[in-house]
Amino acid sequence: MEKMEKLNPIVALHDEFTDTELGISLNLCYNCSTCSTICPVALETEGNFNPRSIILLANFGYEERLIKDLKPNVWDCTMCELCQEACPEGVNLHEVFLRIKNASASYHNIPKSYTSETNQVYLYGKAVPSQPVIEKRREQLGLPKSPDTEVEEIRKLMGMTPVEKILKEIEKLEKQTEEK
């Protein structure tokens, strides 16, 4: 059996942005800035995060900068899809951002806040595990007790993705860095 060669994520992303329906969608962008003016993250960061700049870089072949350097950092996108809903040309921004995130994950280039939160979900079924102080506050507010989480079910679902492997590889890289 022939060994499959691992596809370079930069090349794969470039191909997705040129020779596919997604690439056609991406090429429809005429830089009107509607996405940037409606983006809540762009508004909150006073333009430091700018969906338009990500689309421009993707359109002009700067995949390496987007997925290795994270400049601009696509992980700042909350995936609310407001930009896509407002886009006058119907550019599939959500899918573009998702593909960039997936490609950067293949390089283990994920902000620590995301990997630690993902690890919490894997371990406890929630990003913020239930704690006595949280339950006490919920009771004071008249809220019901937090529902129990089916951790094994969540782990099974996460197991259908490369998340376990990526988390383990990132943990290994962090330990190597600490040892140096």
Same domain, 34 and 72: yes
Q: Which of 99, 89, 27 is nearest to 56 (CA)?
A: 27
Residue 2 resides in a domain: no
Predicted local distance difference test score (pLDDT) of residue 171: 81
Q: What is the pLDDT along the chain (180 residues), one digit of tens a residue?
A: 344 445 688 888 888 888 789 989 899 999 999 999 999 999 999 989 999 999 999 989 898 899 888 888 999 999 999 999 999 999 999 999 999 998 888 888 888 888 888 888 888 888 888 889 989 999 999 999 888 888 999 999 988 888 888 888 888 878 887 887
Predicted local distance difference test score (pLDDT) of residue 4: 41
Same domain, 62 and 98: yes
Residues 54, 100 contacting (CB under 8 angstroms): yes
Contacts 24+ apart (CB under 8 A), 113-118: 114/75, 115/166, 115/167, 115/170, 118/163, 118/167
The whole domain housing 142 covers 112-179
Same domain, 20 and 84: yes
CA pair distance 98, 37, nearest whole angstrom: 20
Same domain, 151 and 100: no
We report the CATH number of the domain holding residue 40 as 1.10.1060
Residue 3 resides in a domain: no
At residue 61, what is the residue type?
G
Predicted local distance difference test score (pLDDT) of residue 2: 43
Predicted local distance difference test score (pLDDT) of residue 180: 72
Which of 89, 106, 123 represents a domain boundary (last residue)? 106
Residue 4 resides in a domain: no
Residues 129, 146 contacting (CB under 8 angstroms): no
Same domain, 100 and 123: no
Q: What are phi and psi of 127, to 5 degrees?
A: -70, -35
